[in-house]
Structure 1
């Protein structure tokens, strides 16, 4: 015999029965707070929200009164989050991500997949592989929209506020699916214009050559030691931590850069034999719950095929003279090769 009647409302009330939860304008004020936290300015947040600065300030003050905590402190350049404000902003960012997943028009039960799928991927892989392949993908799935994003954090799926990402390490978490793909091979590359001005770099003359360095390659993991040893023998011309801009500096002939081996498909790129070769594993990472949506699963499988070991550019063996394949047809069209 049950000790309690399951129909007794005073015993089985849900949290939705509590009329005091987030009452009044609380939801709106949380939205305003998040806009200020992202913009780090009341004025810029007002522009984003299409309202006035006094309105934003008034709603933030009311939210602070309701919470009994100061959420921002003024600075010379805007506002800065307090520890309580930082905790609230992080919680709201997670909520914002969940709401997007709930409200995104992903019609998984319909015959034709439809919706927006967010993908975080480095600029180089995006430019050389994803972008050229989108026309074919869109022809097969015209109702799927891709939102391609540069990763804010190359090791954290959640920090990027995305459905999936192509990363460089697995993530051990119950709510994240991780699939090992191929390997990204890095080699030193220089532009033809650099060779015309400075001569071709070799292992024996690096002292007279210029390098392009990045903080990504200075991490103390040991992986990048061969590159850093070569850089130490020459001179650093510039530093750059934006992958696309880094590649453009190499293309402009400003120095030797460390780039993915696939960049040799660029007609102006010349690979160098400096005894510097390294490989990094690629992983496809996705929120497991989002993979239940048909469009997300389709994009995930598409990317896994593109960056898997079947693609010669990401095979376990390092090769520069890869045979033509369906993976680089779009690249050749992109560069008119």
Structure 2
């Protein structure tokens, strides 16, 4: 097994087809197929089930891919550490966080960070589910919960409130709820997904309800905090939003402020192997400074 064939195998396993793997590798579909066939012939085992809609790893292929993923992850980690400048922070930093936080809070602040550290480049991956930092799907993460993976370093960043909000126009047309019970006469907007970015994202649905009572039915469910915010700002209804989404949106008003809203703890997380990384350190310090001074 040579490295080129293993690299191609890994790309095919991740992409699920010869064509998509070829696009990633800048190879033709036929060249990728030949390399996989040669690898299977050398090993004398099938690595993929081939069917009309793509490829599925065989049991042997699954075992091979687990090992190859670990090897390439360790190589990527080693490369990052070897190329880390001893004098200053430099290189590429792959950052992941939730779509809403990344879009509304982090992305607008990145120009300041990159101006301060011109030798660093950022790859930003917005994903509401957790990427595997141990397998180097990202270098660092900003998560709305403590890390669940072992061997990860965590630093508490901030507490995010989830207040109830509505637009001025909506409240003018429909009135402002004075009690929790009044919410039953209002349209509500919820986060619609099996993987919400925060555990209590839809706390409005059960606010004031007792065990066994049905949740309030939304007029809109959408799996994007940004889209929720836009819809609520446009006058669609009432929803719970992270407090950072209210910045620079004067039409949004908090309602039922006497009701205690749940909060979300945000953490900066990275693998133990990157504890001494200058890129990670300066990015962490930048986040803490931004939260302290500008959030």
Would you call these one fold, judging by a TM-score over 0.5? yes
- 1:157 counterpart SS class: coil
Separation in 1 of the partners of 2:185 and 2:146? 40
> For the structure 1 residues 51 and 239, does the alpha-carbon distance in structure 2 shift closer, same or farther, using more than 3 Å as the test?
same
Separation in 2 of the partners of 1:239 and 1:29? 45
1:237 partnered with 2:204: no
Moved more, 282-291 or 209-218: 209-218
Q: Give the number of the structure whose alpha-carbon radius of gyration is greater.
A: 1
Deviation, 1:304, is: 3.8
Residues 166-181 of structure 1 mapped to structure 2, 5 A cutoff: 166-171=142-147, 175-181=151-157
- 1:245 counterpart SS class: helix
Deviation, 1:240, is: 2.3
- 1:89 counterpart SS class: helix
The aligned counterpart of 2:189 is: 212
The aligned counterpart of 2:254 is: 271
Separation in 1 of the partners of 2:130 and 2:276? 24
**Unpaired segments of 5 or more residues in structure 2?**
none
> For the structure 1 residues 76 and 247, does the alpha-carbon distance in structure 2 shift closer, same or farther, using more than 3 Å as the test?
farther
Asked if 2 retains the 8 angstrom alpha-carbon contact of 1:32 and 1:56, the reply is yes
> For the structure 1 residues 172 and 122, does the alpha-carbon distance in structure 2 shift closer, same or farther, using more than 3 Å as the test?
closer
Moved more, 100-109 or 33-42: 100-109
Moved more, 186-195 or 114-123: 186-195
TM-score, normalised relative to structure 1:
0.72
- Pick aligned residue for 2:115 from 126, 139, 142: 139
Separation in 2 of the partners of 1:253 and 1:75? 48
Separation in 1 of the partners of 2:192 and 2:58? 29
Separation in 1 of the partners of 2:127 and 2:51? 28
Q: What value does the CA root-mean-square deviation take over the aligned residues?
A: 3.2
The aligned counterpart of 1:70 is: 46
Deviation, 1:277, is: 0.9
- Pick aligned residue for 1:283 from 248, 258, 267: 267
TM-score, normalised relative to structure 2:
0.80
- For these two proteins, the number of residue pairs brought into alignment is 285
Separation in 1 of the partners of 2:256 and 2:79? 52
The aligned counterpart of 1:115 is: 91
1:258 partnered with 2:225: no
The aligned counterpart of 2:294 is: 327
